[in-house]
Structure 1
Amino acid sequence: MVGIGGSRGIDWTGERCVPWADDVQVIYEHYHRYALAARYTFGRRVLDLASGEGYGSALMAAHATEVVGADIDEASVAHANARYGGPGNLRFVTGSITDPDLLADAGKFDVITCFEALEHVEEQDDLMRLVRNRLAPGGVFLTSTPDLLVYTHEHGNENPFHVKELTEPQFRALLGGSFEHVAVLRQNVAVGSVMTGDREHGPILSQQLRRTGEDSWAVGTGAPHTYLVGIASDEPVEVPAATTLLDPDRALLGAVADAAATPLRAEIDRLTAENGGPKSQSRRLIERYRTRRRQAEGPVAITTSEEPVVSVVIPVHGKWSYTRRCLQSIEDSGTRVPFEVVVVDDASPDESADLLAACQGVRLVRAEENLGFLRAVNFGASHARGELLVLLNNDTEVRPGWLDALTEVVRGDGEIGLAGAKLVYPDGRLQECGGIVFADASAANYGHGDDPDDPRYRAIRDVDYCSGAAIMVRRDLWERLGGFDQRYSPAYYEDTDLAFAVRAEGFRTVVVPDAVVVHHEGVSHGTDVTAGVKKYQEINHKVFAEKWATALAEQAEPGTSLWLARQRIPGRTQREGEFVLVADVVIPTPDRDSGSVRLRTLLDQLVAMGHRVVFCPMDESPRQPYLDQLQRAGVTVLLDSAAREQFLHEAGSRIRLALLSRPTVAWHLADRLRICAPRARIVFDTVDLHFLRLSREAELVERLGGAIETSTMLHQRSKLYRELELALVRACDRTLVVSEAERDLLADLAPGAPVSVLSNVHTVGPEATPDGRPGVLFVGSFDHPPNRDAAYWLAGEIWPLVRREVPEAVLDLVGHDPTNQLRTLEGSGVRFRGWVADLAALYDTARLAVAPLRFGAGVKGKVGESLAAGVPVVGTTLAFEGMRLRDGEEVLVGDKADEIAAAIVSLLTDDALWSRLSRAGQTAVTAQFGPDVARAALTELLA
């Protein structure tokens, strides 16, 4: 037996299990895993990876030949050796579970365990390689991890130390990639009853009991789970159908986890398999049907305008079926912008001219002789009337919204001279999302052959050129350049030359991914580069290289990573600009929370400053419409870890700034960036100090006489975040906080660490007047605990005091993710509005806003937003923390219910006070939180 000696050399923090933990659920979960592992360790050599405090290694050592525990934390290893080690069969060593040299000379182990560590490791494949290298033939590997869908998504757990959680299919795939035989057990702590029999074998019956009413219960089948336990080997292993660990002397205290059984999983799998056939095959069948149907059809009627903003010019030389499909797609696209269609019949050998003449809405221009593609386009453009030209091949089919998207981008930015569509093959593959030109005049289509819906191809970007199959150019610029340069006649490189000429005139060329056009490439000129018009592709390559030799010298060399080669600073001629990597937990949702407003504003400012901005959300779900909005703003979004790793591998050396929002994200990425992006300035953006917010919430619970378990849990979480956040403050190149108060606090806690203030960003509206403003407004995201508490306090205690003085007063509670309990606040002058997409109309009619926050941290976005709109604010001292706002000058302050109520009544009844606070509040916001303030801070970070 292994002896136990020594004192407690490490503390119970809530993250690493220790035998004296006061959380009995953690004890049950962790000991159960090691108890299961002990079934396989009798007389075996065992390696326990991430051994922690050492209790599990000691448990297995009771019957194993030898157990070696390995952990990265030196204090834990020292404690484990002192408490459990000695001359016996158990020892502990310090090392990383992803280090390929860990215990390289220790020989093979019969059993390897690694419990509750996978989720802490980004490089999980490295861990699996270590396991394979250290495991004896036929050995057994046991591991566990929380189920991402249950632990995080269903239960809402937020663990700052988890960097890569897995779903059950991902967990099985990880183990299945290294072992022939894999079994997965599902684990959950439960309260209930156990029956045992005297038969060794038999079916396992799992049932669950649910309350269906105050005096009724129902029995169902199945068992909920939170964790996954894997048992893997290259040889068949006996795995129990079920396993229990009972504590007959102590009952589990606290809430019981909700059932997580998923009865529709089998049906979903069946439907997925049934409907998951190849997309390309379906598209090809549809394409054949359309071709045969339209070949037999006649003219097309298109709804065009006599006062067009856009002139669509289409050169045609035969192939009526393609031309008709192109014209029909234009009519079907539902375009809002006024446009005309000018079709050049370039001496077609078939009946195209006669059919075009019969197409209502089409302006037909006939060439007396075959001009060739380039000259035909110039000829057609000379007949255009719109301020914008679109040059469109007849072997294209446009998708809805294409022309509006191009027009919005070009008309919305006077620096853009040329914009191209995203071209897609008929089978659904991406043809190009902009083009890249290298120093030798060779070119590449960005994204060729990929999925056109990949987030990498959703951002508006500056490019070297766009294929002339579908481009928009300003007509005055086109005429100033003389159209396509005729030295490239009859075709090829004229579009690339045009883009370089546009750049030489000081304009930008961009690709607009929302403008999607299907291109039947090769229909016009074939694919043989040695014959016909196609041979000019090689000839004109040389012509282009000679004409633009000076400009080409600034292009990337052939073979350069496409991540680098595609980068261009908007509005400049230099090829390679700086990268800015921004990461946060989720894609910003600026109409739902103030933190997202701040982040989205910073992203927009970085793009406007001319930087190439890449955004990485740790949550990989494509939140719409916010993802599309961000990409349309020119931000490249990398939704999955594979894309992020590719970016870091190919372009990490060019990252100039890495802005990591929130401690979980910074902890996840900072070390990786040190390796992959050695030039990058790594900035930890706290958003707010999490440990401070949690500590204040715990103190409020205690002050109000709340449950001791709740305050204890909050204090533990605060301690965890304090350790994490201060470590990041010391490790990162700079830390951002949103207030001077938080900067001063960090100066005391982490002396010498560089900390700057980059607060919320607000644009002040026009001067407001008090007339026609009857409402009182509370705005806040209700999934944020400080806001929920404030809403309860305001509606339950403060508002009745207001109504005594102003009986007609009405309070609007506005915010998303409300609980059912919050909805019960409605009544007696309280209206629950829920989520409102655009708050502008509410601010226009609000007399004042209230921010009765009793705990929290950071600068409150709801305060700045209200003041910027000219709406005075009543709030607690905490609500105005770090904002340099004075009671009675810019805002009204109260920390008790009667004080806040009195301030609300004053603003409801005193127009002079209202007007003075409204003007002063807007002035204060401009000085502290205006866009220029944030832009200056970002400029300093990039200096």
Structure 2
Amino acid sequence: MSAEKEMNVLMVGGLWPEPASSGAGLRMLELSRLFVQQGWRVTYGSTAAANEHSADLRQLGIETADIMVNESSFDLFLADLRPDIVLFDRFAMEEQFGWRVEKTCPDAMRIIETVDLHLLREARHKQFKQQRQVVGQLAKNELISEVAKREVAAILRSDLSIMVSNNEMELLIEQFNLDASLLHYCPFMFNETQICTDGPEFEQRSHFVAIGNFRHAPNWDAVLWLKEEIWPKIRAELPEAEMHIYGAYTPPKATALDNKREGFRVLGRAEDLHAVMSQARVCLAPLRFGAGIKTKLADAMLSGTPNVTTTIGAEGMFGDLPWSGSIADDAESFAQAAVALYRDEQAWSAARKRGFDIVRALFSAETNGHALIARIKALQGNLEQHRLNNFTGAMLRHHHQRSTEFMSRWIEVKTRKE
């Protein structure tokens, strides 16, 4: 296929992208922009209703479509659109719509944006609830679950899955024996203009900040750990400092933790995330479980804000480079690291620079975007052979298509009768 051909891309999402609310929203917006920059036609379809926080995709030159699960109207939509590439937002969308894409547009390349591995996130959450601490690599028996079987099956059925974390890519290859040809490593994609090297300096900043969507379990746990164990230790050393918690979809149980006297403020959604991050002296991200790479820490590095996080928080985010702050896995060490970074201007400035170095080395839009587009084009030119080499995927598609199709058609008929 000629590299000059204008590709027709359909992106299928469970939600409309909300880049200020979640890393997943930011990621889908990144990819949308990347495809538009190639001169490709991009259509974004979602099963959800848009809200006031959803990105205005049409301003970016992206067409939009409302789609429905278990509806043959999607088949008609596909037949009219005739996409060359269909990208699914996480594996659940592939489960719902992958068989329809293969049936109606068999030559369309099917890609999953994993965002993070749900199987790893679930396994760590389960271990955390049992042990209150996640340490080291999980054994294979700890990783295998219903979610793992579904997610790996979806990856095998697809032509390519995009991985944001090289750790998770290695896990799939080593623990689940997936062929590397089915995976592509592509972390964040930031431009040089997004790096705030001229932002406020040490003396111009004050207080600590933590950011995270409250619908995400690791973020809620991080807030509780801060409130109950970490912040009291920090506050004892820095009585004038405040802890500012920001997050989308703040529930009453979170706002109930707001305490001005203790300097622990729960402030809801951050309308301008980078402004909030740039005003803080140190970002705290005490994540005890989870997966993927953390948008909040990337935002901190972009804003020139050193951070303290855990091993899981920093996982897959710095390669062989020194971290942009400190890494600590218990409350006492975490609090000590936070206080030291807050007080020491020289250490703070060094950590700030290390953050900029990480962004430039690992999260370059030019490098990562170019590599992803090149991989897609190469695969598109060899799609038939690529699928022949993936017999397990073909076998899974055969059985999944039949079972899912019959279930979907039954639901559709049942809904109409009701």
TM-score band w.r.t. shorter chain: 0.7 to 0.9
Equivalent residue, structure 1, for 2:65: 638
Counterpart of 1:368 in structure 2 is none
SS of alignment partner, residue 659 of structure 1: strand
Residues 887, 893 of structure 1: 8 Å contact kept:
no
Identity %: 28
Aligned to 2:17: 588
The structure, 1 or 2, with the larger RCO (C-alpha pairs under 8 Å, 6+ apart) is 2
Report what 1:727 is aligned to: 153
Q: Determine the structure 1 residue equivalent to 2:42.
A: 613
1:649 is aligned with what amino acid? Answer: A
Query: Which one has the bigger helix percentage?
Result: 2
The aligned counterpart of 2:271 is: 837
Q: TM-score, normalised by structure 1?
A: 0.36
Q: Is the 8 A contact 2:321 2:358 kept in 1?
A: no
Aligned to 1:649: 79
Q: Which residue of 2 aligns with 1:184?
A: none
Aligned partners of 1:692 and 1:718 also within 8 Å: no
Tell me the CA shift for residue 824 of structure 1. 2.5
Equivalent residue number for residue 699 of structure 1: 127
Q: How many residues align?
A: 356
CA 1:685–1:750: 2 relative to 1, 3 Å: farther
Structure 1 residue ranges (4+ consecutive) displaced by more than 6 angstroms after TM superposition: 715-718
Take 2:336 and 2:321, find their aligned partners in 1: how far apart are those partners?
14
The match for 1:764 is 195
Partner of residue 302 from structure 2, selected from 830, 850, 868:
868
2:317 is the counterpart of 1:890: no
Gapped runs of 5+ residues in structure 2? Answer: 134-140, 378-418
8 A Cα contact 1:690 1:718, kept in partner: no
- Answering whether residue 351 of structure 2 is matched by residue 920 of structure 1, we say no
3-state SS of 1:735 partner: strand
Checking the alignment, whether the CA contact within 8 Å between 2:110 and 2:158 is kept in structure 1 is: yes
Q: Which has the higher strand share?
A: 1
Change (3 A) 1:885 1:810: farther
Structure 1 residue 666 and structure 2 residue 98: aligned? Answer: no
Q: 2:364 & 2:308 partners in 1: Cα distance?
A: 21
What pairs up with 1:219-234 in 2 under 5 angstroms? none
CA change 1:904–1:716 in 2 (3 A) is closer
Q: 1:787 aligns with which of 200, 209, 219?
A: 219
- Paired with 2:316 and 2:275, the residues of 1 have a C-alpha distance of 28
Aligned counterparts of 2:207 and 2:339: Cα–Cα separation in 1 = 12
1:824 paired residue among 252, 256, 266: 256
Aligned: 1:603 with 2:32: yes
| 8 Å contact kept, 2:18–2:25 | yes
CA pair 888-795 structure 1, distance change in 2 beyond 3 A: farther
Give the one of 332, 339, 342 matched to 1:908.
Answer: 342
Report the AA paired with residue 297 of structure 2.
Answer: V
Q: What do residues 13-57 of structure 1 show as CA deviations (whole Å, max 9, x unaligned)?
A: xxxxxxxxxxxxxxxxxxxxxxxxxxxxxxxxxxxxxxxxxxxxx
Q: 1:618 to 1:589 in 2, by over 3 A?
A: same
Shift of 1:625: 5.5
Q: Secondary structure at the match of 2:44?
A: strand
Distance 2:52 2:40 in 1: 24
The one of 184, 207, 227 aligned to 1:775: 207
User: Which protein has the larger Cα radius of gyration, Structure 1 or Structure 2?
Assistant: 1
| Partner of residue 810 from structure 1, selected from 195, 219, 242 | 242
Aligned residue in 1 for 2:162: 736
Partners of 1:936 and 1:644 in 2: CA distance? 31
Deviates more, 1:665-674 or 1:696-705: 696-705
**SS at 2:239 equivalent:** coil
Matched, 1:685 2:116: no
Q: Which residue of 2 aligns with 1:855?
A: 289
User: Compared with structure 1, are the counterparts of its residues 886 and 788 closer, same or farther at alpha carbon in structure 2 (3 Å cutoff)?
Assistant: farther
The answer on 1:751 being equivalent to 2:178 is yes
8 A contact 1:859–1:880 mirrored in 2? yes
For residues 306 and 177 of structure 2, the distance between their equivalents in structure 1, rounded to whole angstroms, comes to 36
Structure 1: state its 5+ residue gaps.
Answer: 1-573, 706-714
Distance in 2, matches of 1:888 and 1:771, equals 24
Give CA deviations for 1:270-300 in whole Å, capped at 9, x if unaligned.
xxxxxxxxxxxxxxxxxxxxxxxxxxxxxxx
**Would you say the 8 A contact 1:614–1:638 is kept in 2?**
yes
Instruction: Give, in angstroms, the shift of residue 929 of structure 1.
Output: 1.2
Q: Report if the CA contact (8 A) 2:301-2:355 is conserved.
A: yes
In structure 1, what is the Cα distance between the partners aligned to 2:167 and 2:361?
A: 17
Find the counterpart in structure 1 of residue 232 from structure 2. 800
CA positional deviation for 1:704: 3.4
CA RMSD of aligned residues (A): 2.2
Give 3-state SS (helix, strand or coil) of 2:15's partner: coil
Instruction: Indicate how the Cα distance of structure 1 residues 928 and 823 shifts in structure 2: closer, same or farther if over 3 A, else same.
Output: same
Secondary structure (helix, strand or coil) at the match of 2:45 reads strand
Distance 1:832 1:886, change over 3 A: farther
Query: Which secondary structure state, in structure 1, belongs to the residue aligned with residue 145 of structure 2?
Result: helix
The TM-score, its normalising length taken from structure 2, stands at 0.80
Paired residues of 1:870 and 1:921 also in contact (CA < 8 A) = yes
TM-aligned CA distance change 1:585 to 1:597, over 3 Å: same
